[in-house]
Amino acid sequence: MTEESQVRAFYTGKNFFITGGTGFVGLCLIEKILRCIPDAGKIYLLMRPKKGKEIAERLNEFPGHPVFEKLLENQTKEIFNKLVPISGDVGAEDLGLSPEDREILIENVNVVIHSAATLDFEEGLKPTVKINVLGTRRVLELCRQVKELKVMVHVSSAYVNAFLNEAEEKVYETPGDVNSVINLVNRLSDEALEDMEKTILRGHPNTYTFTKHLAEHEVKNSSNLFPCTIVRPSMIVASWKEPVVGWTCSKVGPQGFLMGAAKGVVRRLPLSKENIADYIPVDIVINQLLVAGWHAAKQESGLTVYHCTSSTQNPFRWNMLDSVVNEMLHNYPLKSAVWYPHLQFVPSLFLFRISAIFVHFFPAILLDMLLRITGGRPILFRLHKNVWNSLGRLERFIFSEWRFHNPNTRELATQLNKVDEDMFYINISTIYWVEYFVNLHLGVRKYLNKESEKTIPAAKTKDIILRFAHIAWQTMIITLLWYIFSALFGFTMLQCFWAPPIIYYLYTLL
């Protein structure tokens, strides 16, 4: 007798309510449900109008999204009839739901997956409390009213415990009384909150980790009423296997800076190569949300926390890519590159800032001038300025190392039968990181830089041209510095024949 998927059997006929369904994780989650659980019921999506488009119009754009290409190879667009847009906003009172929509959810929903959050590390307390804390509370209030709720899955973050170097799969003591924090946010101005921020955060590096930590306690407080589970992903990156290798629509983390590096715009990256950088592919995250929900639903109530992470099971370090990252950029270059790509890792913010002046800002000024002349929009200087300004807040995440222990996740993987191991894989021990990052770069090239494989031959030709232009630029800079040096000390350039190799050596250190 052929073994069947236990996970798919559980979700068959179940109706979902998903928040954050239009984000990176949400889109991938919807695709997985439609493709691998075609007999699931309705998928209610909390959505709000955006950029002048109503929610129905936004939903109609789904079939054209690249994430659904594999799904549509075997399904017609009729499969999207399962998606039901619900007008609302986690940041609004009662989720912004109309009485009619709330009643629809109460009567029909079986599985709630709460993914919506504000991810901005530089956001103030008001919006993060409003969305991450109160939004979670409002979702849980709805869950208490849902008549046939089987499970509530909360998407948290491994960095909710960023104040610790090592974290276990448990909800740590609350960093503050949630109602007191909410009252402060309601009473004080943004300026007053900013002045008090360090005191309020109690060791948390930013408002995001602080409010996501508080949100976990909201879930914990409801876990005696219905089955709940918390899944904590680390930095979510492009897909490992599904829906297609290397798919992404996120510019956060390595995807963003590899996008810039392939353009030739990002040339230096501040990081500690020897530290573990905890990355987790988006398809692993999606599978774990569904598997954790299936497993939690076996209980009448209670809460299990899962780290969806790689640091203690299959750790990645950037020194793994030291010798291959530039080879990767030139094997699969961009036709739209504006400078010859060459990425170097810099071990401190101080050294990065010095390097950035010469290898980011000076070329950015030159290229922005060319863009102005040709009628384009100058953006490079502003882009590097924004990066420069944000580095202070990001320094702790760039140079710190965390270890997120995941025994619950490893145990969960052993609960899957052979069919589910293949269909809802959550074991990341077999990822070969060098190969993965080559595929991530190809995904960034295709999905973020919008260049197909057909453009690679033309891109390689341009890469050669940019290389000669880069050599010419370096020669010009070295000659200029050689001239300035000889003039300052009253020598001829010929008398300072030893200066160019020294200047070149110092230039390579930048």
Kindly report, residue by residue over 122-133, the tens digit of the pLDDT.
788 888 999 999
At 440, the pLDDT band (50, 70, 90 cuts) reads very high
On the question of pLDDT at 35 being above 80, the answer is yes
270: nearest Cα among 204, 205, 318, 338: 318
For residues 147-172, average pLDDT? 94
Kindly report, residue by residue over 185-244, the tens digit of the pLDDT.
888 888 888 888 888 888 888 899 999 999 999 999 999 999 999 999 999 999 999 999
For residues 256-275, average pLDDT? 91
Bridge partners, 237 (sequence order): 281
Which amino acid, residue 148?
E
| Domain boundaries defined on the chain | 6-242+277-316+400-431, 454-510
CB 83 within 8 A of CB 40: no
Residues 6+ apart with CB under 8 A from 249: 24, 27, 65, 66, 67, 447, 448
Residue with tokens 């390579």: 508
Mean pLDDT over the full length of the chain: 91
Kindly report, residue by residue over 462-487, the tens digit of the pLDDT.
999 999 998 898 888 888 888 888 88
Residues 6+ apart with CB under 8 A from 53: none
CB 488 within 8 A of CB 499: no
pTM: 0.92
Cβ atoms < 10 Å from Cβ of 286: 30
For residues 39-64, average pLDDT? 90
The pLDDT of residue 420 is: 96
CB 319 within 8 A of CB 440: no
The pLDDT of residue 373 is: 86
CB 242 within 8 A of CB 287: no
DSSP 8-state secondary structure symbol assigned to residue 133: I
Kindly report, residue by residue over 347-379, the tens digit of the pLDDT.
988 888 888 888 888 888 888 888 788 877 888
**Per the structure block, which two tokens stand in for 207?**
């408002």
The pLDDT of residue 474 is: 83
On the question of pLDDT at 88 being above 80, the answer is yes
449: nearest Cα among 285, 246, 280: 246
For residues 441-463, average pLDDT? 94
Residues 6+ apart with CB under 8 A from 68: 31, 34, 62, 243
On the question of pLDDT at 112 being above 80, the answer is yes
399: nearest Cα among 270, 209, 233: 270
For residues 70-96, average pLDDT? 93
The pLDDT of residue 480 is: 87
Q: How far apart are CA 185 and CA 202, in angstroms?
A: 16
CB 451 within 8 A of CB 459: yes
Query: For 304, what's the count of Cα atoms within 13 Å in the CB-facing half-sphere?
Result: 23
Determine the distance from the C-alpha atom of residue 192 to the mean position of all C-alpha atoms in its chain, rounded to a whole number: 30
Kindly report, residue by residue over 272-323, the tens digit of the pLDDT.
999 999 999 999 999 999 999 999 999 887 899 999 999 999 999 999 999 8
At 46, the pLDDT band (50, 70, 90 cuts) reads very high
The pLDDT of residue 510 is: 62
The pLDDT of residue 507 is: 73
- Considering the segment(s) 6-242+277-316+400-431 as one domain, its CATH architecture is 3-Layer(aba) Sandwich (3.40)
Q: How far apart are CA 442 and CA 461, in angstroms?
A: 18
At 509, the pLDDT band (50, 70, 90 cuts) reads low
Q: How far apart are CA 495 and CA 486, in angstroms?
A: 8
Q: Cis bond leading into 243, ω under 30°? A: yes
Percentage of the chain beyond pLDDT 90 is 64
Q: How far apart are CA 465 and CA 462, in angstroms?
A: 5
The pLDDT of residue 111 is: 97
Residues 6+ apart with CB under 8 A from 187: none
Kindly provide the residue ranges of all beta strands, DSSP E only, lying in 201-341, ordered along the sequence: 228-233, 235-237, 268-270, 279-281, 303-308
Kindly provide the residue ranges of all beta strands, DSSP E only, lying in 240-338, ordered along the sequence: 268-270, 279-281, 303-308
At 135, the pLDDT band (50, 70, 90 cuts) reads very high
Residue with tokens 């089955």: 227
Q: How far apart are CA 384 and CA 381, in angstroms?
A: 5
The pLDDT of residue 203 is: 84
Kindly report, residue by residue over 427-438, the tens digit of the pLDDT.
999 999 999 999
Q: How far apart are CA 348 and CA 272, in angstroms?
A: 8
The pLDDT of residue 2 is: 64
On the question of pLDDT at 105 being above 70, the answer is yes
Q: In what order do the strands lie in the sheet with 111-114?
A: 83-87, 43-47, 16-19, 111-114, 151-155, 228-233, 303-308
